[in-house]
Each structure stands twice: as structure tokens, then as C-alpha cells.
A and B are shown apart, each in its own frame.
Chain A
Amino acid sequence: MTDVTSDRRARQVMPVLLLALPVALLLGLANGAAPLSTLEALQGLWQFVNGDVSSQAAVIVGQIRLPRILLAAVVGAILACSGAAMQGLFRNPLADPSLIGVTAGASLGASIMIVLGGSALVGYVGLTLVSFGAFIGGLLAVLLVYRLATSVQGTSVATMLLAGIAITALAGSVGSLLEFYADNDMLRRISLWRMGGLDGADYPRLLIGSVVGIALLLALPRFAVALNAMLLGESEARHLGINVARVKRVLIVTVAISVGTAVALAGTIAFVGLIVPHIVRMLTGPDHRRLLPASALAGALLLVVADTFSRLVLAPTELPVGIVTALIGVPFFISLLRRRHQYGML
């Protein structure tokens, strides 16, 4: 028998995250292949913001690191916040955005672009086309999953989970087929893309990510009360006055677009969308009015820290960030799982 208040740290979570994120961003600016002191990083940032790119620090901080860590923050926030919403919608703490097929579809879209484009797909245009392919692939997959799960009686979330697994498997096997015909260079690019990375970050990509991310962060909290009621069950939520069909439709489309964008910009970064909301829920409880914003902050924090690590560990070589998110997050998650009874989980 456990009391809720003694174990939830709901009140501390938001302030701690709000403090930690700027610190992590600053560390991300200062650290990398060319180490700068915190002061140098701040000076460089100041010079860059004022349009002065004469010093090396200003160039490194302003043109390379700033768009990258901000993109990391935006992508992390999108993935974690979407994951929290999906777990609420599916009433399943194991759900994550990839369950509705968006990640697999995006992977396939990117692979198709890489294989069809071949060696013509180089540099900035190539990267953009691959991202575009990923975005379209992700959206098409979700659309298909959604159609499969929708009948005259409405959309069944249980069927959506199964359809998502089916479409993921299908996209995976078509992807493998493509790899079978791909040459070595394409294979390497496909596999690097899958591991996820933020090395393509620049201001145009940051702009796209930010617009989508901010729209998502403004939209999702409007569904917090509905998601709270939907944890009871769909008919229970209807009896509480929630228009369940509309909430489902809007949430799925919103999440598909946002996660599709995140995957297109940064590749598949596993784990953030599944485990960040899970960790945050253990600390704040399942109330989405706290869970959604706290997940967004925690996802941003995790991805910024992971990206900084990925640039430091083997500098000047970079590790794909997807590897690092799991290496950092999993031990923390497992330590929480071992104390799960304290957090009211069975």
C-alpha cells in the first residue's frame, strides 16, 4: 500500500526541467570536436546574434552548434510529447508513435529515395529529398493504418495497433527488399539514416522543425482533459462529454504530421517517444495537463544531452544520436522500473 503524494514529485518536475534544459543547451553549445569554455561559447553566441562572425567561436557556435542543439531540442520535444499523447489515446503505456506505422513508413520512404536517387542524391538537395521521402512515407503509412482500423462503428484503437504492426512489418520487408538490390554506398546511407542523426541540422531545417514543434505544443495541451478522461475507456470518456471520435482523428493526424517531420529531420530516434513519457508519468502521475508539457521538456533535455555526448565520445567522429539516447535513458528507466510499485504501476 503506497500513498500517492509521498512518491510523486509532480511539483518539482517542471522547475527542475525548466532549469536543466538551458544548462544542457549551454553545455551543448560549449562542447564538441573543438571545445570552448562556457564563457567563450556565450561570447560566440552573443557575437553571432549581433551579426558578427569574425571569430572562430562565433562561427562554431552560431552556424554549427546552435541550429543543431535547437533542432535536437525540438525533435526531442515532438517525439516525447507525441509519445505521451499516443500512450493516452491507446490507453497503453507501451504505445509510441512508431506503433501507428509512422516510423516504418518514413524509413521506407527514405530508403526508396536513397535507392532510386542513387549517386545523384548528394549534398543538400539529396538530404532534402530523402527527408521529403521520409515525411511522405510516414504520412502514407499512418493514413493506411487509420483506414484499416476505421469502420462504420468508428476507429478501433486495438485494430490500429494491430494494423500498425502489420504495416510496420510490410514496410520493413519492402525496405529489406530494397536493401537487397542496393549497393554498398546506399546500404551505408540507409543504415546511418536509420540510426538517426542531427548532423544535417541547419537553419531552414530548424525553422521547419520549430514551426511544427510549436504548433504541436500549442495543440496537444488542448486535448489534455479529453485524454485524462479517455484513460478510463472510450465509452466512459463519451459519457463524460468527450467527443471521442473527433479527439482520436485530430490527435492521430497531428501526431502523424509532427512525428513524420521529426523523423524526416533527424532520422529514426528510437526510445524517446516510448520511454520519456513513461519516466515522466512515474514522476508526475498520469494527468496529461502536467504530463504533456513535462514530457516535451524532458524529451528535449534527453535529446540535447544525447546529442552532446554523441559529438564528444569519439570526437571528431560522431556517433548516431539514436544509439546514445538508449544508452543514457535505459539505465534510468530500468532503475525506475525496479521501484515501479512505488509509482502505482503493477
Chain B
Amino acid sequence: MTILELAKVDANPWGDFHLRGVDFCLSAGAVTGIIGPNGAGKTSLLQLLAGDVEPSRGDCRLLGTPMSQWDMTERARMMAVLPQLSLLNFPYSVEEVILLGRTPHGTGAAMDRRILQEVMQATDTTRLRQRFYTQLSGGEKQRVQLARVFAQIWQNEGTPRVLLLDEPTTALDLAHQQLIMASLSLLAANDCAVVMVAHDFNLVAGVADQVVAVAEGQVVAQGTPAEVLTAQLFATVFGAQVTIGAHPVSGAPLVIQL
């Protein structure tokens, strides 16, 4: 089922064209990886999907309704966004930060508590719950922010949900990267559409059903990881020489730097 759809979208949030002719859709239960060089427009694309940037041409539709016509609370109940940088500098406890993810719901304290427990397990933040957010390390903060966006769309199985993540694993150690990837797969298995901007191609190849490559504001390739992650794409889009192997266990494409 198509949840979010971009049709021939141009967007120019700062005057000049930033995104041109973007055309793709997100389906329930699929993980989409967005890759591209620095400044290619990955974050702008994510903002477009999140409704932060209005298309100057074309259509961005959530469940068939244009993004701008959605009631903000209604939309927030089904779409959560993890930004690249988070600048929270007020001394919330970890638990308070995660519970902010329940802001749009109003489903009552008991439900919020239960979801809090579950998302803390999914992000390994349970033992941090009483700590001050301001005193956490970078990786711990990233896990807490992930727990917050998970909490926002954790429930409502069966209803369409979208999770947009901008470089969710940059500060995470290997074990926590695996934990988060497992949680993303679990969410996707429960019909959530997951979008992830990432620079770790092998991480993307391992988890994504669809990969979108962005360069200079345009989508230059999209398809399965095997279709998109080719040596030729890396040469033309990233200007980098790589060899594409196969993952010894999963068989997914494996990007090896020369």
C-alpha cells in the first residue's frame, strides 16, 4: 500500500532550485535508504517528505491527501521524524524526552508507560531512564532521540505509519547499530514505512528494500539495493572507486573501498 507519494516535485526552500523532478513513493512495510554525496539534497528530500518544505511544483501526498492539508496533530500521530542534529539543552530526564514522543496522542498515562518500556528496550535506554539527557554521551543521546520517535509511532498497528530518520546511526557503536536495525525491521514488519538517510552503504544494503540515490537535487537512481549500489553509480555520483561484492551470509551487495 502506498503511504507517501512524491509526483514530479520541485522544491526551492531557499530561492534557487534545490530539488528537481523528484518522483517516488513509500509503501507500507518497506525500508527505503536515501544515499548521496554531501549537499546533494538528502535532508531537503526528507524535509519534503516530512512536510517541512512545501513543493513549488508537483504533489506530495500522504494517503492521497496533499501534505499541507493535513491536520498537524493527525499527521504527527502517524509520522515521526528524527533530525540529524538535536540541540536539546534543557535538563529533561531521559524518560521525559522519550515521553515527548507521545505528545500528539493523548492515549493516557498507562498506555504511555507501556510504550515507554517497550521503546526503551528497543533502543537499550532502560538503564538511562532517570539520567539527565544533557549529561549523556553523543551515542546515548541518539538512542534516546530514536526512542522518542519510536514512541511516537510505536502503537496503532494496522494504521499506516511513516518513520523518517536522518542519519540515525552516526554516533552508535556496532552493537547498538544492530539493535536499531533490528528495531527498524520490526517496525517495517508491522507495516510502518521507514526512510533512512545514511552514509553507511552496507548498513543500507542490509536493511533496505528500496534505495534512492540523490545527486545535485535530483534522484539519479532508485530500485533494490542490488540495482542501485553499482560500481558505476559510485564512480559517477560519488566520484569514488569501489568494488561491489556480495555479503557472505545475506547475499546483499557489499561495498568495498579500494
Is B52 interfacial (CB 8 A cutoff)? Answer: yes
Among B77, B92, B131, contact of A285 (Cβ-Cβ < 8 Å)? B92
**Which of B75, B92, B130 makes the CB contact (< 8 A) with A286?**
B92
Interface residues on A, range: 20 to 34
* A3 B131 Cβ-Cβ under 8 A: yes
In the assembled complex, the Cα of A281 lies from the Cα of B93 at a distance in Å of 13
| A48 interface contact, C-beta 8 A | no
Are A287 and B103 also in contact (CB < 8 A) when A2-B132, A238-B72 are?
no
B 123-136 binary contact with A (CB < 8 Å = 1; else 0): 00000001111110
Say if the beta carbon of B101 comes within 8 Å of chain A.
yes
Within A61-117, the residues touching B (CB, 8 Å) are 91, 93
Given contacts A240-B100, A242-B103, A285-B93, contact A235 B52 (CB under 8 A): yes
A2 to B132, CA, bound (A): 7
Of B81-89, B205-213, B230-238, which stretch is located at the interface? B81-89
Q: Is the C-beta of A22 less than 8 angstroms from some C-beta in chain B? A: no
Given A4-B93, A286-B91, the answer on whether A240 and B134 have CB atoms closer than 8 Å is no
Within 8 Å CB of A1, what residues of B? 131, 135
Return chain A residues, CB-CB under 8 Å to B152: 240
Taking a contact as CB atoms closer than 8 A, the residue among A93, A233, A240, A344 that contacts B103 in the complex is A240
> For window 225-273 of chain A, which residues contact chain B by CB distance below 8 Å?
225, 228-229, 231-233, 235-236, 238-243
A132 at the interface (CB under 8 A from B): no
Q: How many A-B residue pairs have CB under 8 A?
A: 90
Question: Does A5 reach chain B (CB closer than 8 Å)?
Answer: yes
Which residue of chain B lies nearest to A88 when distances are taken between CB atoms in the complex?
Answer: B90
Residues of chain B within 8 A of A146, CB atoms compared: none
Residue in B88, B101, B104 whose CB lies within 8 Å of A233: B88
Contact flags (1/0) for B110-131 with A, using CB distance below 8 Å? Answer: 0000000000000000000011
Contact A241 B134 (CB under 8 A): no
Taking the closest CB of chain B, its distance from the CB of A155, in whole angstroms, is: 16
Main secondary structure of the interface of B (DSSP, over half): mixed
Whether a CB of chain B sits under 8 angstroms from the CB of A177 is no
Q: With A231-B90, A346-B89 in contact, do A240 and B83 touch (Cβ < 8 Å)?
A: no
Please pick, from A3, A91, A232, the residue contacting B100 in the complex, using a CB distance under 8 A: A232
Within 8 A of A (CB), among B123-157: 130-135, 152
Contacts of B92 in A (CB 8 A): 231, 285-287, 344
User: Given that A241-B72, A241-B103 are known contacts, is A287 also in contact with B88, CB under 8 Å in the complex?
Assistant: no
Contact B88 A4 (CB under 8 A): no
In the complex, whether A309 has a CB less than 8 A from a CB of chain B is no
Is A120's CB within 8 Å of the partner chain B? no
Whether the Cβ atoms of B72 and A287 lie closer than 8 Å is no
User: Smallest CB–CB gap between B98 and chain A, Å?
Assistant: 11
Task: Tell me, yes or no, whether A19 is within 8 Å of chain B by CB.
Answer: no
Interface string of B9-52 (1 = CB under 8 A from A): 00000000000000000000000000000000000000000101
Residue among B72, B86, B87, B134 making CB contact with A344, cutoff 8 Å: B134
- CB contact under 8 A between A238 and B52, given known A4-B131, A287-B96: yes
List the interface of chain A (C-beta within 8 A of B). Answer: 1-5, 91, 93, 225, 228-229, 231-233, 235-236, 238-243, 281, 285-287, 341, 343-346
11 cross-chain CB contacts under 8 A: A2-B132, A4-B132, A93-B90, A232-B88, A235-B52, A240-B76, A287-B96, A344-B92, A344-B132, A344-B135, A346-B89
